[in-house]
Each structure stands twice: as structure tokens, then as C-alpha cells.
Amino acid sequence: MSVVVVLDHVTKRVPDGRTRRTILSELSLEIAAGELVVVQGPSGSGKSTLLAIAGAMSLPTSGTVTLTGEPVSRLRDAHRAELRRDVVGFVFQELALIGSMSLEENLLLPLIPTGGASSAQKKRIEALLKRFGLSERARDLAASASGGERQRLAIARALVRSPKLLVLDEPTAHLDAENTANVLSVLTELRSEGLAILVSTHDARVAAHPSIDRVVQLRTGSLHGS
Amino acid sequence: MKRIRALASYAVSSLSRRRGRSLALIASLALSTAMSGAIFLLSTSLDATADTLAEAMPALVVQRMVAGRPALLTHADAEAMRDVPSVRQVTERVWGYLYQPALESNVVVYGLDQAAIAEAMGDRDASLADDEVLVGSVLGAALGLRAGDRLALVPAGATPSDDHAAILVLRVRDLLPERAALVHGDSVIASPPLARQLLGLAPGDVVDLALDVFPPEEANVVAARALERIVGARVIERDALTRRRTVTFDARAGLLSATLLPLLLAMLLMTFDRLSGLGALERKEIGILKAVGWSTRDVLTARMLESGILAMLGAALGLLAAYAFVFLLGAPGLSDAYLGWSNLRPELALVPTLDLDLVLFTLALVTLPFVAVSVFPAWRAASLDPERAMRGDA
């Protein structure tokens, strides 16, 4: 299996008053295509920062990140945005949907910088809406969707550009058992389709799911165990 | 192009999602444009009217100055100019200001020969009897006059306490057309003898000479001859008058614009404040856009398009409002500042004038500063790290 993302001795420091606080320290991680990796750790352990760096949304203070062979740290903003758009699908803990836009418009957002949806992409959006059971509500405002629908919409949007890496931050944090099971079922399908998937979670049900390949613990900025 | 179209479509949808804020900014821009646009439109229209009038003015006007004050000329002075090369015609003009106590204002009395009266009345055969006058439209309206009515004028030298025998009761032959109101709104046109009687001039007195010069380039040479041949002559050139008028109106336009400047600055500051004060929702939206693959350039372009659309809409609405204010309503309030205050001030029938340069200049005056002040907030917003923007750290 080909390696999709490589984090090599990544350190991230952020300003904290007069000093700088280390969030991640000399962290290394590789995720291959078709691999589902779960990151666990207490609140404030740096899980979200790790996901942001792996998804090319944030740059490390030191160390290197390589996404599908591209050295992320060396890319200019526009190329990094392009890589993020073409290779990474990101699902935020808060879902990051624009509530005043319809479900369909939210799905179209990643396509706007490349000139809007082509006919093939429109078909893909229709297929994603159908796959996630959102076709009936495509024209409703995202703000009016239920928690489960919003979660599915966020995952659908992350998949619009057929990414190689799917990054999910606490995808089941606000879901009931049924919706959690649905999300895990979707992740299992996507893994079998060859996506590399990185999930951060507190949820033991997620970590214990049989489709998980690896569970890594993040403590004081470093990874432990698998 | 496809990218810009898609970003513009997003910008429109973004503006419509923030309807209240967008409408407030459009209204503020429209108000600023309307104010500056009204000044420019009024200036341009008055310039166009004045240019038309200037074409009918004589190339040179010769007056006499005695002890630094205007004095009268005579028929002999006119004769002295007739054989000057390039002088095509010399007109002996009789005119002057006549205070009318009932109006608490001056009227302007002109004595015109038959040819000039026929031209003013648009009738080749028209002429005025000794007790007949033509009356300017503004004066006519102020006194409720119509053709055939009687008009009583107090001649120069008489006072309200004089007996009524001094007052001249004249017949109004007709009113002058409204299009002549800017110049002749408060005029009384009579035959030269009646005009002299009204103004208290002796027979043969001439107020000034109007010289028609051809070719026009010879005006300077003719002016020099006038200074040689007429003692105490002062020569006024048409071009000098035009320059004076331009300078006066441009100065008034400048003064008015200067008084509006603080308002325009306040509008720009408000715009800057509105655009730079990114709300949590806006920051989050930018974070979302960047997280789904928008580059800094994409976000910046979308926000600049938003500003551009707002500015163009506001400026276009403002120009329309300015056009209606000036040409449909007659620029109430603003025209006072231009034309001065008088009991017999003409009701302006402004000629609608709208040239492309003026439209582009007014649009640029409002849209460029607006878009310029929105660049920094847009760039700051666009360069946010998506993760920080999502967290609201910016």
C-alpha cells in the first residue's frame, strides 16, 4: 500500500504569553492508503493540531510533512491550498458548515476556486447526497439540518473532490449510538475504497471498532503505542 | 475567467446572506455618491448652459472708467471703433440696474434696437412701441404678469415718496422664454429711448460697446486699438469672462466638495470599520473556505469582488439619485450655493447633461477609495490560518 501522509519529527510551538508552548514534539507518523488510524488523547494533548498539520491546514514549527509525495512545508500558500483541496478531505469537530447556505451549496464550496462544478462533479455531488441520505434536503439550509444530517453532510463535503486522505476531528462527539454506528459504517466503506483515514476521538466505541487498523495515544505532544 | 465567475457568484450569495450589512453599506455609498454626483452634475450642466450663452456674447466689450468707476460712453466713441480692421459690428448698448422698492430687488433694464428685439421675440417683424417692454420670466412670475398686463416701474432718481407722476406705467408686450431665465430672468427689455428714461441716462449716452470681431484671433489687436482710441477705455474679452465664470463655479464646486469631504471621510472610516471588524461568524466562514481548499488569493478575490459589487451598486444608485435630484427636482438647496441669493433668482431649467467622463470620474471617486480601504481587512482575513480562523484566534 502506498503511503499517503508522512509526518517526520514534527514539532509545533505556539506563542503563550511571553513564552512559547510546545504542542507537538518530534512526532512521526505514517498513514498508508486504505488504512484507518485513530488518535486518542486527553483534552489539550494536541490532537486537533496534529490533524491540522497532517491535513496541510497548518505548518509545523520544525520537521517535515509529506502528502502524496509533496513536501507540504515547502509549498507556497496557493499550492498548499491546492494540495489541501485535491488530496485532503477535512471534517471538523464543529463540522464547519455554513448554516446560511443550503446543503448542496455547502458541498459546492470546495469546487468554487476551480470555476465551479463540472457536469461530472455535479453528478458526484448528487451521488454523495444520495449515499448519505441527504437528497431530499439538498436545497434546505444547513442550519435546519439535524445533528446526524449535519455530520453526514460534513463527511460528504470532505469527499467531494475524491481525496486521498480523510481527516476527522471527533466525528462522533455529538452523536447518539445510531448515528455513531452510521459514521463508523461509512468510514469502514471509505477505508475499503482505499482512502487513508485519520480520526481523533475520545469515543471508546470508535477506538474499539474492528475496522480500525491502528490506535495511537497522544500524550504531552508525543505519540505512544499502536 | 471561469474561476472569477464562480467567485463572483459566491460573492453575490455572500452579500445576500448578509442582507442588512450589505444594504447599509450600499445606502452609505449611494448617499456619498449622490452628494458628490449632484455637485458635479450641476457644475457640468451650468457649464454647458454657460458655454451656449457665451457663444452669443460679443468678442469684446468696451467700457469707460473714470476715477476707477464705470462711466458712460458716447456715440462718438462707437464711431471711433467702426473703422478698426477686423471689427465687423459695433453695438451701442444701453442697460443698467434699476432698484424697485416693491420688489426689494434690482431689475436689469436693456435698451435694444429693433433688430435685437425681433431676435429676442423670435419674430422678424416684431418691434416695441415706446411704452412697451419685454419682461424676463422670473420677474414675470414674481409679479404674476402676462402679455398685455401693465407694469409700473419707478425710474432712476425717483423715490417712493415722489408723487405717482414719476412712476412709468408700461405695457407688457410679452414674457421672455424660460430658456433665457439664467441670464434674462430679471430683465426688462425696452427701446433705447425708454431704457434711457428708466435708467436716468441722457439721449446719446451709451453704457458700453459690444464689438463683433472677425477673425476672433484679432481680438487682442482690436482691444489694443480701443485702448488707444477711447480715453479711459477698459476692454473685457469674452474668453476672460468665460475663464472668470469657470473659475467662480469651479471654486464654488470645490468649496461645496470641501464641505462634503468630512462626510466622505466619515463614510470611508465607517466602511473600513465595518469591513475590518470581522465577526466571529465571518472569521469562521473564512476558516471553512480555507479548510476546504481556498487559497489566500481566492478568499481575497471573493472579498474584493464583494466590495466591488457593493461599491458599484451604491455608486450607480447614488448617480441615479443625483441625476433625479438635479434634473428632476432642480437641485433644491444646492443651486442656492451656486447661483447666490436674490429675490429674483431664476428658477433653473437645467439642461440634462451626463457625459461618460463625469460618470466614470464620480464612480471612481467613490468606488476606488471604498475598494482601497477594504483591501487591508480583506487581506488580513484572507491570510488567516484556517485552523486559527476556525478557532476564532484571529
What residue segments make up the domains of chain B, in order of their start?
A: 2-53+247-391, 74-229
Q: Which of A7-21, A54-68, B240-254 has the lowest mean pLDDT?
A: B240-254
With beta carbons less than 8 A apart as the criterion, state whether B270 and B28 touch. Answer: yes
Chain A residues interacting with chain B (CB cutoff of 8 angstroms): 48-49, 52, 57-58, 77-78, 80-82, 84-86, 90, 92, 94, 96-98, 100-101, 105, 109-116, 157, 161
B380 secondary structure, DSSP code: H
With beta carbons less than 8 A apart as the criterion, state whether A1 and A32 touch. Answer: yes
Q: Which of A67-76, A156-165, B157-166 has the lowest mean pLDDT?
A: B157-166
Cα separation of A49 and A151, whole Å? Answer: 21
Optimal mutation site among B292, B388, B390, interface A, most CBs of chain A within 10 A: B292
Average pLDDT over residues A80-85: 86
Q: How many CB atoms lie within 10 A of CB B304?
A: 18
Q: What is the DSSP string of B212-281?
A: EESSGGGHHHHHHHHHHHSTTEEEEEHHHHHHHHHHHHHHHHHHHHHHHHHHHHHHHHHHHHHHHS--HH
- List the one residue out of B57, B335, B348, B39 whose CA is nearest residue B182: B348
B136 secondary structure, DSSP code: -
Q: Report H helices in chain B.
A: 2-17, 19-55, 75-82, 114-121, 137-143, 181-184, 192-199, 219-229, 238-276, 280-291, 296-323, 334-339, 356-382, 386-391
Average pLDDT over residues A6-24: 89
With beta carbons less than 8 A apart as the criterion, state whether B307 and B22 touch. Answer: no
| Average pLDDT, consecutive stretches of 10 residues, N- to C-terminus, chain B (394 residues) | 90 88 85 82 76 75 91 92 91 91 88 81 78 89 90 82 74 81 79 92 92 89 92 86 70 66 68 62 80 85 87 89 86 70 55 76 78 75 69 52
Q: How many residues does chain A have?
A: 226
Optimal mutation site among A98, A162, A168, interface B, most CBs of chain B within 10 A: A98
Q: How far, CA to CA in Å, does A172 sit from each of A120, A164, A186, B3, B374?
A: 31, 22, 12, 35, 40
A111 contacts in chain B (CB < 8 Å): 6
Chain-chain contact of A97 with B13 (C-beta, under 8 angstroms): no
The partner residues of B234 in beta bridges, in order of sequence, read B63
| pLDDT tens string B129-157 | 889 999 988 888 888 999 999 999 988 88
pLDDT at A54 over 80: yes
- List the one residue out of B362, B363, B361 whose CA is nearest residue B308: B363
Q: Which residue has the higher pLDDT, A185 or B158?
A: A185
Average pLDDT over residues A109-124: 90
pLDDT at B394: 43
User: Least CB-CB distance to A113: which of B291, B294, B387?
Assistant: B294
**Positive/negative CA dihedral, A125, A130, A133, A135:** positive
Place of cell 514549527: A61
Q: How far, CA to CA in Å, does B98 sit from each of A11, A224, B149, B153?
A: 94, 105, 20, 9
| pLDDT tens string B355-369 | 788 788 878 877 787
**Closest B-chain CA to A14:** B388
User: Least CB-CB distance to A98: which of B2, B285, B298?
Assistant: B285
**Closest B-chain CA to A166:** B292
Place of cell 455513531: A180
Q: How far, CA to CA in Å, does B187 sit from each of A95, B56, B184, B346?
A: 78, 17, 5, 11
B57 secondary structure, DSSP code: S
Chain-chain contact of B293 with A161 (C-beta, under 8 angstroms): yes
Cell output for A180: 455513531
pLDDT at A175: 79
Query: What does the H/E/C string look like for A44-86?
Result: CCCHHHHHHHHCCCCCCCEEEEEECCEEHHHCCHHHHHHHHHH
Cell output for B122: 423670435
User: Least CB-CB distance to A100: which of B2, B5, B17?
Assistant: B17
User: Least CB-CB distance to B2: which of A98, A101, A116?
Assistant: A116
Beta strands in chain A (DSSP E): 3-16, 19-32, 36-40, 62-67, 70-71, 88-91, 165-169, 196-200, 214-219, 222-224
Q: Which residue has the higher pLDDT, B381 or A166?
A: A166
Cα separation of A151 and A182, whole Å? Answer: 10
